[in-house]
Structures are given as C-alpha cells and as structure tokens.
A and B are shown apart, each in its own frame.
Chain A
Amino acid sequence: MSIPREAYQTLQSIVGPEWVSDDPAICEADRYCSLSSPSDEQRRPGCSIEPASTEEVQAIVKVANRYKIPYVCTSTFYSAGTYARKDDSILIDLKRMNEIEIDEKNLYAIVGPGVAFSALQADLLKRGLITFVPGCGGNSSVLANTVNMGDAPIGWRYGLGYQRLLGVEWVLPDGEMLKMGSLSMSDDYFWGEGPGPDLRGLLRGCAGHQSRLGIVTKIGVKIFPFVSEELEPMGWAFHSFMKLPPNRFKWYNIRFYSREDAINAMFEIGRSEIGLVVMTVPPIFRSVARTRGVGCGGFWEAWKENGPKIKPNQEDLRVLLYGIGSDKRLEYEEKVLLDIVKDFGGSPREAPCRDETNFMAADAICANVVGGRFSSEVSYESINQAVRYSRVVNEITEKYKPRILEDYGTTNWVCPYELGYIAKMECLRMSSVENRDALDKWHDDVHKFCATGGGSTIFPEDEIFGPVWGNYPEKEAKIRALFDPNHVSAPQ
C-alpha cells in the first residue's frame, strides 16, 4: 500500500472502513472511466473512497492536503477525464451523494454528484418537466456534465450548460467551502450569479476543469416545462424510443442542395423563434443510427454503398417543432417552418413522431459503434463560423486520406443553441486503429490553423493557443496556485 498508513486510517475514520479500500483489485477496477480509452496516462489509484456527504468530502480533501496526496473525483465513472493521472492518488467516488430535490414551481432541481441524468429525467417526466440528456448519455452525472459541458440539441430553446448552473456548493482544492449565488447567503439554490463578480467564472469557461480545481458537491440546476402526457416507451435495445404526443411535437427532416440555403434557413428559423431542436444532420450520423445493432462491419458495408451517393453540398436540417402549451402553437410553428423551407428551396419530409436521444436516457457516442478510432474537433461559436471552420477542416482532412477514412465530406455537425445566438460545430473523423497517428496529425493541423486563423475551439492546447489567446494558461496557473497551493487537486 502506498498511501501512508496514518492517512489511510484517517480516511477510514472519516467515511467508515467499509467505504474505503486499497485492495489492488478494487483500485484497478476504478482506474478507468468509460468514455476514455485505456492509456498510460490512467494510473491505478492508491485507494478508492466513497464519501456520503459534503462534510466527508471536505475532510478527505483536507487529509489529502495534509499528506500532499493527489486526489481526483468521479461520480458515475461515465466520463471522459476524471481518472487518476498520478500514482497512488485518492480516488473520491461520489456516487453515494445522489440526493435529488425538485422545486416544480420555480423550475430548478438540487442534485448531488451521484445523480445520473436518467434518474433525474425519470423524476421530472412524471411531473411534466424535463432536463437535458446530453450526447454522452443518460448515465452521466447531471452535476459533472453541467459543470463541465452540459449541452444537447434542445439547447436551441433552453441554452447551454453554463446557463443552467444556479447555486453551487464547492469544496475548494484545499478543503475550504465556497458557496455561490443565492446559496452564499442562505440555503436556497435558486439564483446562480454573484454576489458581485461571479465566481462561477472560476468553475468553468467554455468547458470545466474536470476536477482540477476542487470538487463540486451540490448544484442547483434549471429544469424546464414539458408536456404532461406520459411518453410511451417502445421497441427493444438498439432500436428503442419514446412516442411523442403528435398534437404537440413534429419532426421534420429537410434537405437542401446548397449549404448556404440551409444555413440561411437556420438563421431565419432563429429569427422566427420557433422549434425546440434545429441542427444539421451529417449523413454519416444517420448511417450510424440506421446500422445500430449490426456491428461495425455492417456499418462500413452500408457506408461504402451509400456514401458515394451523397450529393456535394447536400445539407440536411432536422427540426423538432414543439407546441409549447398548445396544439395551435404547433400548427403555427409548422406553417412558419414550411414557409421558410419554401423560401430557401428545401424539401421537407415529416419524420416519425418519436424520440431516441433528446428526452429519453440516450445511448452515447454512436461513433464507438463504427469501430476503429475517432477524433472530434469541437468549437462553440457562430453558425457562420461553423460553416467556415468546417470548410477548412475538410481541406485539411483531404491531406490525410485514405488513412483517415472516407467520409464524403459529411461529418461536420452544426448544432446551434439559444435560437441561433451560438452554435456548436463538431467535426468527427475516423481511422482504423493502426492509423491513429494520421488522426493525431490531423488534429494538430486543425488546431494550428485555428490558432492562427482566428477559429475557436472548445479544448485548446495551451502551447498552441496560449500565446495567441491572451496568455490564458498563465492566468489559469495563477488561479490554481492560489486555490491549490499543494497541487493535489487532480494534477496533470
């Protein structure tokens, strides 16, 4: 055992001996999280501990500081980044902190880190309310996802993750407590900012620190009104969905033969303030969805046959109309949408009135289904930027074909939020396992272009972007040194 005996005994006394273990088998099992590929970077923790309360988290973190032991937290193990990067770290598993409180009237929920989206969503749907189900899936933690990312296509109407964050209870890297928003002055989580300068700005920028600046133990998070009808689950695994009330919802797939028309239609839908979801659908996404359950071989066979048929400049929009509060509103939204589609020369096709990924606990990362390796370039900026950026990414991709698999220029996904005030652009590229280096080089080229050409990416590399983006890594390092003097909070 590498955790000092005295420290380990103290940890046992904090949570009780049954909630901490240094058994190598358990520690090995807790080494990896589900959305990251096993790598040398992921180290086996020295012990795994499961606190039940904020006070216990604080005490654990103070022990870590006293003995200068690195720690990292996880909540559902369904995450991309919360694993130990240093040997003999304390892995703080927050799954027991899974309390949910819902204020139906004032549209917010209070959740601990162990609450998964599927659990919260199940409670909310019974009350005619909803939360987001993010792309990474319903198994992920509401708290961790909201603090770190927190987007999903219904953000067209309900905004981005950072906007849903209300009162925050945060154990700082040294174990001190920080309460933010209305919680700073009372036990109420209803309001997020301030008082005065908003320290939620330390918690996350476009994305969060992934536990590198302490541990958030409870948040208030916004929830949203929904239909009161029960959504009927249908189908079996790989092809399951929920039926949506047809008097309140309508899906449209709209094909445009010019990207410019599709984008202008998207802007106009935003100005007209209709829809719950508006996004482009790269044909490869649709192919992945259609070949679920047949394995990666089935997908690539279908893709080889269908991919070459994609017309250049073809762009598909997918729009979910929502008659919020009334059937008549749905009728209005449909008329407006069809007017816009006509004005911009699109071909609308009504799609089945059901949901597979927006309200039900979605299955995650379809890209995994197709096998091999993938790399994803994500930016949050304007719809215009998404178009320009994806054009450049396509040019860079050409340099690496055929080692990067043929995508027929279709894997750039534009998903706008807040009625078009901002848009996510995700460029997904795939390769076989043995050609991973091509993807790595592609990724570097994209970032180098982005840094010099004035693009915006969500996960910048400090060495490339720091010098041209206002030396932000220096500021972050100062903040970390200020709040984490012992450098123990999820050190890299």
Chain B
Amino acid sequence: MQIKQALTKIVGAENVSDDPEALLSYSKDCSLSTPRAPNYVARPKNTDEVQKVVKLANESRIPVVPCSSGIHFYGNTIPNLGGIMLDLGRMNRILEFDLYNKMVRVEPGVTWGQLQSEAPKHKMMGLGPLLPHPLKSVLTSHLEREPMLIPKFEYAGSMVTIEAVLPDGEVFRTGSACVPGFPDKSLAEGVNPGGPGYLSYNWLLQGAQGTMGVVTWAKVKLAPRPKIDKTFFIPFEQLEDAAQLVYNVQRRMIGEECLILNSVNLAAILTKKWPQDYDNLRRILAPWTVILVSGGGWRRPEERIEYEEDGLREAANELHIPELPTSLPSLPGIERDLPGMLRNAWPEKKTYWKFASQGACQDVFFYTTLNRASEFVSVMSQVAAENGYCIDDIGFYVQPMEYGRSCHFECNFPYNPGNPDDVAMIYNLHAEAAEAAIDMGGYFSRPYGVVADMVYDRAASYTTALKKVKQLFDPNNIMSPGRLCF
C-alpha cells in the first residue's frame, strides 16, 4: 500500500494502478514467455517522474521494469519477479528533428507509425527494421539494435546519444549530450556517441533489455529520403545464389533497401486478400527473392539510378543472371508501392504481417555471414520437421548488414495460438532451433527468454564480466531482474 501511495504522489492517481485487470495486460506479450503480472503499473510523463519512481524502487528494493509502447514480441517486458511496471507510453514526443545532422530525438513512447509519418515532411526517413508493427517503439528498436533495411556502414551505430535514469536514480546523458546546457544552450549538438570519458555508456545500455537503466530519450540517425526509386525483384531457386548476388551488389555499394525473403514471407507481406491471395502468391513466387531498391538520392536522381542499375547489371552478369525483373507476378504496381511500404510502419488497420497467416508467430534470429545463410536454412528446416512443423510454412528473412559483411538471419514460424498442441510444439521448436543455430556458430547478440540462458551458459568470460558490471551499476538488482544473465 505504501508503494502505491508513493507512486501516486509521483505520477498522479490516474497514472497508477494495482487493479488486477489492468496488470494482466502487462503480464504477457506476443511471445511464449511465461506470463507474470507486475504488482503496480506507473505511467510517468517525464524524466523527473521516471527518476522518482526508480529511486523509490531502489530504496524499497522492488523490481522496476520499463516498457515503452503497446506491443512486445520477445518477453523482455514481462516482469519476471513482479514489481513496478514503468509504462513509458505517455512519453511519446518527437523532441527534435535535427536536419543538419540528419537525426531525430525521440522519447520512448514514439512509435514507428508516428515517426515514419512525420519524417517525410522533412524529406527524411527513419532507419527502421523490416515493416515494424505500427505501435512498436522507435527507441526500443534502436536500443535493441534491430537490423535496418539499408545495409550502409554510414548508418551503423544508429543510436547516437541517450538520456537514461540509472538504477540508483541518477539521470545520466551519454556521449556529447552530457555537456552543460544541452540541447538548447550548448555548442555541442549531441551527435558524438562516445563517452563521456573513456567508457561508452551507449554500448552498455544497448541490448540491455531494461536491466541497466531506463532510457528517457535518444537521438538516432535518419537518412535522406530518395526523391525517386526503382525496385528490383530478382528471383532465385537457391539462397546461395541470392547471397552471392548480394555480395556482388553490396561490394559496389549500390542501392538503398536490400534484403532477401523467401516466398512465405514475401507472400505474407504482399497479400491483400487473405487467404486466397496468400496461397496463390506462395505458389507463384520464386523460393527466394532479392529485393533491391535503387534510390535516386538527393540530387540528379535519374542519373544515380542509371549508374546503380548499370552496376547491378554488371553484378548480375558475373553470375550469369540474365534478367533483373522490376515487377512481381500477379502484383501490378508493386514496384511503385514497395519503397513506400518499406519506409513505413505496417498499416495500423491490417493484421500484422507475421500474424496474418496463422494468428501468431515465433521468431528465431541471429547473426551469421551471407555465405553461411543457406546452411542455416537446411538446419532450421530439419529441426522444424523433427518437431512436426510444416517446413513449407517457415518464413525466412536474410538482411545483409554493412555492405554485406554479415547478415541478420531470421526464421519466422507462424502458428495457431489457439491450439495448445501447436503452442507446445512451437515452444520446443524455438528452443531446439536456437540451440542448433548456436551449435553451428549463429551469433545471438540480443538473446531473449530461453535463448539468453543458452547464450550466457556458453559465453562464460563475457557472462562473468557482465555480472560484475551489472552489480556495480545496480547493486540491488532492481532493474528488470531475471532478464539476460541477471
């Protein structure tokens, strides 16, 4: 009762609840993680209130778990040990479009739907993951290092500076945002991620799933929005061949968005009428499609597309690929629509593409190199088959990173959440697929749920050091306890 009163004093009665029904909605997400409700939910509106709640939690030794928006996929906001759910949804302001530096500063509650509809007004676009849910938090995507569709080095390290409330309640700004007077009265504009001093707090806070502090705003990179585009859909029977084309293309530094999808995922994204279009598309689409958007850039857009197309042809000729289609069968106008789709969140009124076919979806994702991607397809398919999952239903998504130096490899297993047998099977499949991928050298840089246990059991030296650092910053282990290796 005392905690509730204290929370009420901080954020106001209308923004605190211990009503079981209200708490229930925070107990689960779109993953198969075990549901667990918090004891309280508090909805702060600014950094000051966040700071007070965190101080309260630290003094009371009660867990505090931040969540930023209305949708979560990986169980990383479920309060494993109860405590205070810190719902940051009210902190949803785009604080600043910094157009000189091609950046935006956002609060945690800003969604992809919000940002991607605002950015074009400034001739910019957010550097987003593949078709994010419209309610997904922009800040969380960057904080969790989700892969971006445009594999350019220049866009790497997309989260530049951060304001965070540390577990002891200290408000700390990273990089050059730490200077006095930032953002209004300082020389610095908060674009240097390093420091302050000889540590990079940005790196320590990223990938932390709320265990190192509560981020209250972040400055992230944008990209200039191309004036015109030309989209290529290059079909392949084998993933190895698709990967080789991507190597050739990326080595030439051509294009904006570049990704590889199998027919299952491409159909799920492009289907307008379910289920008939979906089944048809899966049948007629090639097993693998390289999607490359050549962007016309800021100046002389036609000429830029022309040299990029020449480069693409040269890259394709080296592999004896005769044609570079700019359309897909049965989808008139898709070449025109797709760049816009990829630079937006998934439409709010449509069922999210990953859930459309069966109602839910379990993802397994990790990093590898492009030349190994096809090995992982075989093994993931084998594990799926052994678990009784129909391998024709697996969605695959391969995202080249940093000019093809590596790739994000993602398997999507759609399933029926209303069928307990399906759910049990997917639960096992997820664990076994992750284990198999780790055995093969797949690297889970952001492990969630059961995968975290597998990863930290193997990364012994890293785990030891990480626990020491966590103990230093959060001696009472109040920030999202039970997550990662904490």
Residues A271 and B304 in contact in the complex (CB < 8 Å), given A157-B153, A193-B145, A382-B100: no
Q: Are A209 and B198 in contact (CB under 8 A)?
A: yes
Residues A190 and B452 in contact in the complex (CB < 8 Å), given A184-B462, A456-B188: no
Q: B136-194: which residues lie under 8 A (CB-CB) from chain A? A: 145, 153-154, 156-157, 160, 170, 172-173, 175-176, 178-182, 185-189, 191-194
CA–CA, A272 and B295, complex, Å: 11
Q: Are B406 and A197 in contact (CB under 8 A)?
A: no
Q: Which of B61-69, B89-97, B202-210 contacts A (4 or more CB under 8 A)?
A: B202-210
Digitize B275-288: 1 where CB-to-A-CB distance is under 8 Å, 0 elsewhere: 00000000000000
Residue A374 at the B interface, CB < 8 A?
A: no
Residue B417 at the A interface, CB < 8 A?
A: no
Which chain A residue has the least Cβ–Cβ distance from B145?
Answer: A193
Q: Which of A22-30, A287-295, A406-414, A463-471 contacts B (4 or more CB under 8 A)?
A: A463-471
Residue B272 at the A interface, CB < 8 A?
A: no
Q: Which of A200, A212, A267 contacts B200 (CB 8 A)?
A: A200
Which chain B residue has the least Cβ–Cβ distance from A323?
Answer: B307
Q: What B residues does A268 contact at CB under 8 A?
A: 298
Q: Are A159 and B204 in contact (CB under 8 A)?
A: no
Q: Which of B28-36, B419-427, B438-446 contacts A (4 or more CB under 8 A)?
A: B438-446
Minimum C-beta distance from B123 to chain A (A): 9
Q: Are B191 and A421 in contact (CB under 8 A)?
A: yes
Q: Which of B154, B160, B443 contacts A186 (CB 8 A)?
A: B443
CA–CA, A478 and B196, complex, Å: 15
Q: A311-326: which residues lie under 8 A (CB-CB) from chain B? A: 324-326
Q: Are B153 and A158 in contact (CB under 8 A)?
A: yes
Q: Are A196 and B303 in contact (CB under 8 A)?
A: no
Minimum C-beta distance from B177 to chain A (A): 9
Residue B11 at the A interface, CB < 8 A?
A: no
Q: Are A335 and B300 in contact (CB under 8 A)?
A: yes
Q: What B residues does A180 contact at CB under 8 A?
A: 462
Q: Are B299 and A182 in contact (CB under 8 A)?
A: no
Q: Are B300 and A205 in contact (CB under 8 A)?
A: no
Q: Are A157 and B179 in contact (CB under 8 A)?
A: no
Q: What A residues does B470 contact at CB under 8 A?
A: 197
Q: What A residues does B458 contact at CB under 8 A?
A: 184-185
Digitize A450-471: 1 where CB-to-B-CB distance is under 8 Å, 0 elsewhere: 1111111000101001001110
Which chain B residue has the least Cβ–Cβ distance from A162?
Answer: B194
Minimum C-beta distance from B16 to chain A (A): 30
CA–CA, A7 and B444, complex, Å: 42
Q: Are B192 and A380 in contact (CB under 8 A)?
A: yes
Q: What B residues does A400 contact at CB under 8 A?
A: none
Q: Are A273 and B297 in contact (CB under 8 A)?
A: yes
Interface residues on B, range: 35 or more
Q: Which of B247-255, B261-269, B327-335, B353-361 contacts A (4 or more CB under 8 A)?
A: B247-255
Q: What A residues does B185 contact at CB under 8 A?
A: 454
Q: Which of A178, A185, A472 contacts B199 (CB 8 A)?
A: A472
Q: What A residues does B103 contact at CB under 8 A?
A: 421
Residues A383 and B100 in contact in the complex (CB < 8 Å), given A202-B469, A207-B198: yes
Residue A62 at the B interface, CB < 8 A?
A: no
Minimum C-beta distance from A437 to chain B (A): 27
Q: A407-428: which residues lie under 8 A (CB-CB) from chain B? A: 418-422
Q: What B residues does A307 contact at CB under 8 A?
A: none
Q: Are A454 and B299 in contact (CB under 8 A)?
A: no
Q: Are A201 and B200 in contact (CB under 8 A)?
A: yes
Q: Are A197 and B466 in contact (CB under 8 A)?
A: yes
Q: Are A201 and B314 in contact (CB under 8 A)?
A: no
Q: Are A389 and B187 in contact (CB under 8 A)?
A: yes
Q: Are A197 and B445 in contact (CB under 8 A)?
A: no
Q: Are A472 and B178 in contact (CB under 8 A)?
A: yes
Q: What B residues does A188 contact at CB under 8 A?
A: 441, 443
CA–CA, A212 and B304, complex, Å: 48
Minimum C-beta distance from B142 to chain A (A): 13
Q: Which of B113-121, B341-349, B375-383, B397-405 contacts A (4 or more CB under 8 A)?
A: B397-405
Residues A197 and B298 in contact in the complex (CB < 8 Å), given A202-B469, A382-B189, A483-B468: no
Q: What B residues does A382 contact at CB under 8 A?
A: 100-101, 188-189, 191
Q: Which of A106, A204, A472 contacts B369 (CB 8 A)?
A: A106
Among A185, A209, A381, A455, the one with the most B-chain Cβ atoms within 10 Å of its Cβ is A185
Q: Which of B181, B199, B247, B438 contacts A479 (CB 8 A)?
A: B199
CA–CA, A419 and B39, complex, Å: 48
Residue B2 at the A interface, CB < 8 A?
A: no
Minimum C-beta distance from A119 to chain B (A): 22
Residue B472 at the A interface, CB < 8 A?
A: yes
CA–CA, A422 and B189, complex, Å: 10
Q: What A residues does B485 contact at CB under 8 A?
A: 196
Residue B482 at the A interface, CB < 8 A?
A: no
7 CB < 8 A contacts A-B: A106-B406, A176-B461, A273-B298, A326-B307, A453-B187, A479-B199, A482-B472
Name 4 extra pairs, CB < 8 A, besides A454-B187, A472-B195: A159-B156, A339-B299, A455-B187, A470-B178
